A and B are shown apart, each in its own frame.
Chain A
Amino acid sequence: MDELQELYQELIVDHNRTPRNFGRCAHTTHTADGKNPLCGDHIEVFVEKENGVLKEVMFEGAGCAIAKASASLMTTIAKGKTEEEVEELFHLFQEVVTTKPEDPLPESEKLGKLIAFAGVRVFPARVKCASLAWHTLHAAIKNTSSATTE
């Protein structure tokens, strides 16, 4: 698989084309606004949290295929997880997209489909696209109203 196919693999192209959980939660308890000021990517994350569990996670916004697919996949994965589990996934995800191409990727069963974003490693300029949604979700849970990857 070449670098380009590795980056834009089926799962990512699919989530970009038909984003999951696009919209707002009916009973939003936490929300944050995420921006990449340099490129104009803009993602809003909405969370319904109950007893430390993310019952509902949704997003809205506009951005590149990587940013959108990452937000979409994130919502499907974060849904039903506890706050701590989501934080752990956030860190694992960061590791996946920032590990140097020549170094081994983190091995964890928890990663699941997130490993699809490993292709981003070869394109350092795109790391912030991939992580925007995660930063925004993190900000929402921590009750910070905005996030930026700059």
Chain B
Amino acid sequence: MNTTDVAVLRKEFPMLEKTMHGKPLVYLDNAATTLKPRSVIEKEREYYEAYTSNIHRGVYYFSAFASQQFEDVRETAKIFFDAPEKEEIIFVRGATEGINLVAHSFGKAYIQAGDEILISAMEHHANIVPWQMVAKERGAVLKVIPIDDQGDLIMEEYKKLLTEKTKIVAVTYVSNALGTVNPVKEIIALAHEKNIPVLIDGCQAVQHLPLSLRELDCDFFVASGHKMYGPTGVGILYGKRKYLDAMPPYQTGGDMIASVSFEETSFAPLPAKFEAGTPNIAGVIGFGEALRFIEKYGRKEIAEYEKELLAYATAQVGNLPKVRLIGTAKEKASVLSFVIDGIHPHDIGTVLDTEGVAIRTGQHCAEPVMKHFGVEATARLSVSFYNTKEDIDHCVRALQKTLTLFG
């Protein structure tokens, strides 16, 4: 991607025409959520304006049409994520619901007292708490793969933590707080040597890196649509059929049953078994458009451009006085976390806000990571391929202003 491509791309995002406190918006909070291109917004609106109806049940034209649009996204997602079967793609509210579903249902089917669940020290709370709950419920033990001071997983420790007691490994592909890209292929292969299934939280990876579920061979995978230019309230859970078939339903209700009597209910086959109730139809259809949007630009091209942008941001922000970078892993994507000596991240965030620069400040739902690095909170900028070096320069000028104000 070159500057002309980016200039064209930026025109697709209505939010990039906005101002904040009278300054042009510089949006660097992409790890929280990405902005939405016009095509996604239009696609969602189209469902409400042109063919609103419920899916999977009506015999009339619009219902059949909406069902088709909805199911087409499953096919699009199968191709986008390179999943073996489209029935292995379950639409959920987002990655959080996906992880809760797996923790709950897999836990019921496979986890007994004394078993171990293995997560990492850099997980988002959404990939900690559901497992903690299941561990408590089943009498299992939650184990944690430690990280080093660069923010890399300590693989030697990981190997030691994989035992015959381990029932599942759940790790993030890319850390939302540190930007670390984990060696997930190796993580999965090592677990598989001992027949342990692996869940990958792909939230911060899918919009930045090319990936293939078939190649990764993970057993479960979750991602949120809103972090990949799609609508909020929609995401995917991928699970291998052999597990999903054996797991009990997470929620029950309409659309997920084969037959119901007051004595007994039999459940529908995949994917309906895990999609109880009317789903976020418009959201799923918009999500399909978001996947097409990413493919239009190409994930390899996006990754290369964002890598360059992140390197530039790292150099520029890293050069500022009193700045300490949090998370300097060997391989990183999108995220630059930092602290400034003597200035709380919130105050940094507010000064940047008045300069039109949106970044995230706080604990990033990763309190254990903050503890590891001995900080209360960090300031975090995260880039997308619609960002430019000028955006970074703008942010750096605002950081200089912060330093002057509190210096």
Contacts and interface: CB of A to CB of B under 8 A. Distances in A.
B350 A62 contact: no
Contact of B376 (A2, A40, A126): A40
B377 A39 contact: yes
Contacts of A62: 376
Interface string A1-25: 0111001100001000000000000
A13 B343 CA distance: 11
Contact of B354 (A2, A41, A42): A2
A40 B406 contact: no
A125 B360 CA distance: 12
Nearest to A65: B347
A64 B347 contact: yes
A63 B363 CA distance: 12
Contacts of B370: 40
A40 B350 CA distance: 16
Contacts of B346: 39, 41, 63-67, 126, 129
Contact of B406 (A7, A13, A67, A123): A13
Interface string A92-124: 000000000000000000000000000000010
A126 B351 CA distance: 12
B57 interface: no
B384 interface: no
A21 B362 CA distance: 26
A3 B354 contact: yes
Contacts of A65: 343-344, 346-347, 406
A3 B347 contact: no
12 contacts: A8-B347, A13-B406, A38-B363, A39-B345, A39-B361, A40-B370, A64-B346, A66-B346, A68-B344, A123-B350, A123-B353, A126-B346
**Consensus secondary structure, chain B interface:** helix
Given A3-B21, A8-B405, A40-B377, A64 B354 contact: no
Interface in B359-384: 361-363, 367, 370, 376-377
**Most chain B Cβ neighbours within 10 Å, of A64, A123, A126:** A64
B350 A126 contact: yes
Contacts of B344: 63-65, 67-68
In the complex, which of the residues B343, B347, B353, B406 has the most CB atoms of chain A within 10 Å of its own CB atom?
B347
B350 to A, nearest CB: 6
A67 B406 CA distance: 15
Interface in A109-150: 123, 125-126, 129
Nearest to A120: B350
Given A42-B376, A65-B406, A7 B363 contact: no
A10 to B, nearest CB: 12
Contacts of B405: 4, 8, 13
Contacts of A64: 344-347
Nearest to B344: A64
Contacts of A63: 344, 346, 376
Given A40-B370, A126-B350, 8 more contacts: A13-B405, A13-B406, A39-B362, A40-B367, A63-B376, A65-B343, A67-B344, A123-B350
A4 B354 contact: yes
B400 to A, nearest CB: 14
B363 A40 contact: yes
A41 B377 CA distance: 9
Interface string A22-46: 0000000000000000111110000
A36 to B, nearest CB: 9
B21 to A, nearest CB: 7
A38 B354 contact: no
Contacts of A4: 350-351, 354, 405
A64 B363 CA distance: 13
Contacts of A123: 350, 353
A108 B370 CA distance: 42
Contacts of A38: 362-363
Interface in A43-74: 62-68
A41 B363 CA distance: 10
B64 to A, nearest CB: 45
Nearest to B367: A40
| 10 smallest beta-carbon distances between A and B, as pairs | A64-B344, A64-B346, A40-B376, A40-B377, A39-B362, A4-B354, A65-B347, A64-B347, A40-B363, A62-B376
A92 B405 CA distance: 29
A65 B347 CA distance: 7
A25 B367 CA distance: 30
B214 to A, nearest CB: 38
Interface in B330-367: 343-347, 350-351, 353-354, 361-363, 367
A134 B193 CA distance: 56
A149 to B, nearest CB: 13
Nearest to A3: B354
Contacts of B363: 38-40
B100 to A, nearest CB: 20
Contacts of B376: 40-42, 62-63
